[in-house]
Structure 1
Amino acid sequence: MEKNARVYVAGHRGLVGSALIRTLEKEGYTNILSATHCELDLINQQAVADFFAKEQPEYVFLAAAKVGGILANSNYPADFIYENLMMETNIIHHSWKAGAKKLLFLGSSCIYPQMAEQPIKEESLLTGPLEPTNDAYALAKIAGIKMCQSYNKQYGTKYISVMPTNLYGPNDNFDLATSHVLPALIRKVHEAKVNGDQAVTVWGTGRAVREFLYVDDLADACLFLMENYDDSKIVNIGTGVGISIKSLAENIRDITGYRGKIIFDRSKPDGTPVKINDVSFLDSLGWSAKVDLNEGLKKVYSWYRENELHKK
């Protein structure tokens, strides 16, 4: 991409979008387009059509999405499937109508079958049943992948799709009702420390294994792929290394300085037993993650204390 190219980041205030903005600015891109929800409702087809006709972006990072953890996905499946389908459909279609040179669609490792062989290869897509607690979200993301591939096939576009693992970092969602496990644990453990609580309760058995990627690493990988990859094959992004939720909770306890117990509520679901991305394909393209999990946890806990606590 030319440094003065018109680059649109959809979802620029979110966890991924804000990291993309940081990375693009750091790399010297000078013509970055964005719009708040008040300025542009991505669910509104005509509003998106008007935006693309006016702004004519040359490159599009589709990071806008409705996301959440097990609780949110279980309680609001209609919201997750409708909003994600509408956003991606509008943006992908109008990127094509406006003649965008390239688009990068951000999916999720949640798209893969619940019992996919570990670590999960890109070829596992649509080979088995989805995890039932987030199937609405997963189906919406799969539709986005297929839409990118279909436009490539029919119109010769260069729309690529990436599947990041579990993400964390600055601008994460720390709302206990809608957040993913890592930010939820940071908030829970920090509040238990401040309140002098004797224990923190965590959903599930603690045995579930997850992989976590610092979001600035993801942004760096996305920029690398936007500049170096054109194929329709989806690309996993991650570290390739997993950690149990029990160990994650203990690491967060150590980083926050909390001295209480971690108790697991076995009546609550674990979700997928193990979920780790096979990142050998991305490695072969020449990119690998740089931020170690403990280093990343320290960074995000510092950000949480500096940016979130004043909101309470």
Structure 2
Amino acid sequence: MIVLVTGGSGLVGSAIRELIESNPVEGEKWVFLSSKDANLCNYEETLQLFQKHKPTHVIHLAAMVGGLFQNMSHNLDFFKSNLDMNNNILQASFECKVSKVVSCLSTCVFPDKVTYPITEEMVHLGPPHPSNFGYSYAKRMIDVANRAYHEQHGCQFTAVIPCNIFGPHDNFNPQSSHVIPGLMHRMYNTIQNGGESFTVMGSGKPLRQFIYSKDLARLFVWVLREYQEIDPIILSVDESDEITIKNAAETIASAFGYQGELVFDTSKADGQFKKTASNGKLRKYCPDFKFTPFQQAVKETVDWYKENYHTARN
């Protein structure tokens, strides 16, 4: 079993690597790739990579990703790059007779106007939120391709849909990051500069489910080894663990020991108000899975970030 992990140096890839290195399984070889290994938007480079490593299994994490404001201004770039990348990975997997591919989607693929909680059957029931439609539609097409490859060629290609991910090795650049690492970066700098107040973009009212990258890594490996469906599966914390952006900012401030005032800039866009996802399907398979408490996961991430600030993706 040779497992090729694209995006292997990123947030989720790094968490999977740490998990595999601490719990090696005889008969499994894992290869973690980064953007330095090949341009996955180029099919010839992608195919050469597969021919070199000869994977039997693939975890496809590589993507062009960014936060709310970057998505809003670059929807075309997100659409084209991710569409090319995903098509190349699946076609190379088919040509090289890969036994199983697990790709990573996102809860933003779901329709903007939908009943909650979201379930796996709702992916294609309407247009996604207009703020990131380029990224969302490109990711949705993985599910379409998975079904088509299975129907026409019998391929075992599937996908997972995690809620908002955070943890060590994240992208902390506030211009392109997601909300938690962006807040951590700016709060770190505010503390270093002796700032007495900290501004959070937006009202702080939107609701989100956050999953710790180390928990997601355990679930990803379970999907690779055990999950047999072509249909995607949502990997999310429970609905009861959904919190506001304000709660997240307060938890981050507490983890840093920051005593200053939190100010919410309501002139900035909030994005989608909520995208509550059901993990009912996951709970049927893994009823006893224990998620790391949010406060603990944030504290571990903040501690990692402070220790690795100068080498982190800032």
The two structures share one fold, judged by TM-score above 0.5: yes
5+ unaligned residues in a row in structure 1: which ranges? none
Structure-1 residue corresponding to 2:270: 270
Letter in 1 for 2:254: D
Deviates more, 1:244-253 or 1:119-128: 119-128
Aligned pairs for 1:1-312 (under 5 A) are: 5-29=1-25, 30-240=28-238, 241-286=241-286, 288-309=289-310
- After TM superposition, the score normalised by the length of structure 1 is 0.95
Decide whether the 8 Å contact of 1:115 with 1:272 is kept in 2: no
State the alpha-carbon separation in 1 of the partners of residues 60 and 135 from structure 2.
Answer: 16
State the alpha-carbon separation in 2 of the partners of residues 170 and 149 from structure 1.
Answer: 33
- After TM superposition, the score normalised by the length of structure 2 is 0.94
Decide whether the 8 Å contact of 1:118 with 1:274 is kept in 2: no
Match of 2:170, SS state, is: coil
Q: Deviating runs (4+, > 6 A) in structure 1?
A: none
Letter in 1 for 2:40: L
Shift of residue 79, structure 1, vs aligned partner: 1.8
Match of 1:128, SS state, is: coil
Shift of residue 289, structure 1, vs aligned partner: 4.3
State the alpha-carbon separation in 1 of the partners of residues 35 and 246 from structure 2.
Answer: 37
RMSD: 1.5
Decide whether the 8 Å contact of 2:4 with 2:32 is kept in 1: yes
Shift of residue 80, structure 1, vs aligned partner: 0.8
State the alpha-carbon separation in 1 of the partners of residues 290 and 132 from structure 2.
Answer: 26
State the alpha-carbon separation in 2 of the partners of residues 52 and 187 from structure 1.
Answer: 36
State the alpha-carbon separation in 2 of the partners of residues 35 and 203 from structure 1.
Answer: 34
State the alpha-carbon separation in 1 of the partners of residues 234 and 34 from structure 2.
Answer: 28
Deviates more, 1:30-39 or 1:97-106: 30-39
Cα-to-partner distance string for 1:246-289 (whole Å, 9 max, x where unaligned) = 11111111111111111111111111111222001001011534
Shift of residue 20, structure 1, vs aligned partner: 1.8
Letter in 2 for 1:14: G
State the alpha-carbon separation in 2 of the partners of residues 32 and 232 from structure 1.
Answer: 23
Match of 1:160, SS state, is: strand
State the alpha-carbon separation in 1 of the partners of residues 311 and 65 from structure 2.
Answer: 24
State the alpha-carbon separation in 2 of the partners of residues 253 and 195 from structure 1.
Answer: 15
Between the two proteins, the alignment pairs up a number of residues equal to 308
Decide whether the 8 Å contact of 1:15 with 1:172 is kept in 2: yes
Match of 2:87, SS state, is: helix
Match of 1:53, SS state, is: helix
Letter in 1 for 2:214: D
Decide whether the 8 Å contact of 1:192 with 1:258 is kept in 2: no
Shift of residue 27, structure 1, vs aligned partner: 2.7
Decide whether the 8 Å contact of 2:158 with 2:232 is kept in 1: yes
State the alpha-carbon separation in 1 of the partners of residues 280 and 310 from structure 2.
Answer: 39
State the alpha-carbon separation in 2 of the partners of residues 230 and 273 from structure 1.
Answer: 33
Decide whether the 8 Å contact of 1:109 with 1:165 is kept in 2: yes
Decide whether the 8 Å contact of 2:13 with 2:32 is kept in 1: no
Match of 1:275, SS state, is: coil
